Structure 1
Amino acid sequence: MAHTDTGAGAQPIILYAMPGSLYSAKARAYLRKQRLAVEERVPGDPRFEAVVQAVGRWIIPVAQMPDGAMVQDSSAIIDAVEAAGLARLSAYPADPVARVLALIFELFGGEGMVRPAMHYRWNFDADNLAFIGRDFVNGLKPGAGPEEAEAVFAASSGRMRRAAEAFGVTPQTFAAVEASYLKLLDLLNAHFATRPYLLGATPSLGDYGLIAPLHAHLSRDPHPAAIMKTRALHVWRWVERMTSPDIDAGEFCGRTEYGEPASDTLKALLAFVAEDYLPELQAMTAWIDAWLDTQDPAVLGAAPIRRAIGRMTFTWRGQDITVGVFPYRLYLLQRVQDAADALSPAEHGALSALLSGAGLTPLLRLRTRRRVERRDNAEWWAPV
């Protein structure tokens, strides 16, 4: 898609976000790579109240586009920029199979990595708390005095600690979460030693999905930042690269070709997704289908979907854990499946061989009887 000039004098995109927000990191990294005129504002800015009224709920990130339209959700912000012809580097790979791979990692990064993101933020207070406390207050109540700041952080951190439990982060799972994350970090480090971005020379939706937790939580908060710097230099460099408007790949000496996107290191990452996140997706789709059987179809379509519609228990890494059921994840899963459904027979064969080798073939079959769609900056159950 052609890139529209957004130089001096262009109306900026206004991004309502926070430095420590997972989904803000995804939108911010994408907008920086496009070198667009962007003005970032925190939700503590008095002007954010009008945004809340416009989108119908307190949520970030929200982008106010140059034409005044409000777009909520990091994926929707990316798609709005792409549709407006403002993208310098499209997040969607030209190769159709690579596009499916990018969407898989968009889903995994933003949703499948929430457990380590929440664990490493909220369970290492000795290292993290002073940093997180000031960071949160700067975004939620800039200029607050000590007493007000303490109250603001107590309220917000209390909500987030409860949210961590809803993602399955409990004392019983701490060891498994840490072992899982360190394995992933090693796999990512091996992959980013060979190429600057997930699928080659430029970032894709997969990179933007991964940067959400890997920047906002796992490379900014002090405790996990130290782990990344000492254990995974190539991941740390990729985080720096993803937060720069430039390609920032000097150590690759100007290379632009990296062979097939599906390298051995990428195959290992796909196998990790199958091991670590596929069981949750399988449990989620089964739970949602059973839940849909108990609901009145007319009532379902009358209002936006709540963020969480219940809790489910499934087996993850040898133990039963209980987590919230978030239909937004079904929406991102559908994006993967829709892209796969659009492949030619030859392309689908190539994708199937790749996913089969990684144990990830079931991902394409996990479909509920009712789809989730996005409109009016919210998720809705699609008509049957």
Structure 2
Amino acid sequence: MSRFTLFGIHCSLYTAKARSYLRKQGIPFEEYSVSSREYQSSILPTVKRMIMPVLKTPQGVIVQDSADIIRYCEAHEAVKYPALPDSAVLRAVSYLFELFGGEGLLRPAMHYRWNFDEVNLDYLRSEFRCLMPAGTAESDRPQLFDIASGSMRKAAKSFGVSEHSAAAIEASFNEFLRLFEAHLSDYPYLLGGRPTLGDYALMGPLYAHFYRDPQPGLLMRRKAPGVARWVERMNTAEDNWTDYENAASALVSDTDLPESLLALMRFIAIDFLPEILAHIEFSNQWLAARPDLPAGSNGLEDPAQRFIGMAQFNWRGIPLRSSVMPYRFYLLQHLQDSYAQATESAQRDIADVFAAGDLSQLLTSHTERRVARHNFLEIWQ
């Protein structure tokens, strides 16, 4: 049987999203580190930046980015569980949670990984060994870890992680765990009886950072054991209904969404909406200052750079600054395109659901120029 090859590492958020999807779909694959010879000699020169995950198909096609990997497989493979529901309403909700799962949980993911060295550090040293090329001398490993972890600690600050925001981050994440735990008490997955796109996106941070890292892993098991079991369920190919009686693969009704799902949407409205709106406003000002920016460019000297600046916003009662990444608009566009392409009746239903979740602005707030991905890079169209 022909097999796919997935390049990533165990503790990578976006690799966890792609890995879970491949397992749930029964798509055979082998996984290698980004330090492997093939990645270094073949993949890296192709994608032109150290980034993960990357999927290589049996035909040799290279797909980079967890969202694009899922879309590629949906289009080209026979899948067990389609990532996107047929219902326009549930499809829009799926895109919402793809955006939030991959981007909205970055702040607590980075906080819990890099601000608890007394608990996490020895574990992280072991985790980061897979980034180091084979044959790296033991004497060189501590210095290489310090370089890699130093880069990640700097990235954490760019997502708004600081002593100033730590208490609010922890309160926010505990609230999310409580809400997701309550939802999972009735449903095995986000939208009911089978995994969908939002599950895979949430799996990224919830597995790679929160379940596996010692400090948040203990927190999850203590305060949200149902979430921990969902992580385990999302990491296996087989269905497991031991927590649910009369389990079925049906999704929730798109005309009567569970209150526990709407509660999660209202959490996103508080926790992530102010940030993404601030990023859109910043980007539109940034674009306005560059009227001659050529299509197909990211507008920066380095084509591989992912950040265009820092935006400030109020978050849970405190001022915060975080890096503006056009990639987030790429994900947001999937939600907004789905809404725009729906029938008039479905658009009304989607608008009603997003109004109930206090998220109406997400359907219409956008950057003046669209973001695309071309040759594995984010560009302005």
CA displacement at 1:300 relative to structure 2: 5.3
- Match 2:277 to one of 254, 277, 282: 282
Distance in 2 separating the partners of 1:213 and 1:355: 24
- Which residue in 1 is equivalent to 2:77? 85
Residue among 194, 201, 211 paired with 2:203:
211
The offset of 1:233, in angstroms, is: 1.0
Contact conserved, 2:49 with 2:304, CA < 8 A, in 1? no
Counterpart of 1:366, as a letter, is: S
Find 2:13's aligned residue among 14, 22, 40. 22
Root-mean-square deviation (CA), in Å?
1.4
The match for 1:177 among 146, 169, 172 is 169
Is contact 1:107–1:333 with CA below 8 Å preserved after alignment?
Answer: yes
Could you say which residue in structure 1 is the equivalent of 2:261?
266
Structure 1 residue 297 displacement after superposition: 2.9
- Structure 1 pair 305/149, CA: closer, same or farther in 2 (3 Å)? closer
Q: 2:351 aligns to what?
A: 352
Q: 1:16·1:41 contact (CA, 8 Å) conserved in 2?
A: yes
1:378 and 2:371 are equivalent in the alignment: no
How do 1:182-197 residues align onto structure 2 when only pairs under 5 Å count? 182-197=174-189
Match of residue 96 from structure 2? 104
- Other-structure match for 1:40: 31
Q: Distance in 1 between matches of 2:291 and 2:285?
A: 13
SS at match of 1:218: helix
C-alpha distance 295-168 of structure 1, shift in aligned 2 (>3 A): same
Q: Which moved more, 1:242-251 or 1:223-232?
A: 242-251
- The answer to whether the Cα contact below 8 Å between 2:54 and 2:64 also exists between their aligned partners in 1 is yes
Q: What is the CA-CA distance between 1:309 and the residue it aligns to? A: 0.6
Q: Indicate yes or no: 2:317 matched with 1:318.
A: yes
Give the letter aligned to residue 221 of structure 2: K
Offset at residue 254 of structure 1 (A):
4.5
The alignment-based identity, stated in percent, is 39
8 Å CA contact retained: 1:305, 1:380: no
Paired residues, number: 373
Q: TM-score, normalised by structure 2?
A: 0.95
d(CA) in 1 for partners of 2:212, 2:204: 11
Give the CA deviation at 1:342.
1.5
CA drift of 1:312 comes to 1.4
Quote the Cα distance in structure 2 between the aligned partners of 1:259 and 1:284: 32
Letter in 2 for 1:174: A
1:148-203 C-alpha deviation (Å, 9 max, x unpaired): 21122111100000000000001100000000000000000000111111001111
- Structure 1 residue 36: Cα displacement: 1.4
1:305 touches 1:381 (CA, 8 Å); kept in 2? no
Aligned residue number for residue 11 of structure 1: 2
| Structure 1: unaligned runs, 5 residues or longer | 1-9
Answering whether residue 240 of structure 2 is matched by residue 240 of structure 1, we say no
| Residue-by-residue CA offset, 1:37-74 (whole Å, 9 max, x unaligned) | 10100011111111000111111100001110110000
- Asked if 1 retains the 8 angstrom alpha-carbon contact of 2:277 and 2:365, the reply is yes
Give the CA deviation at 1:259: 4.4
Preserved CA contact (<8 Å) 2:102 2:201: yes
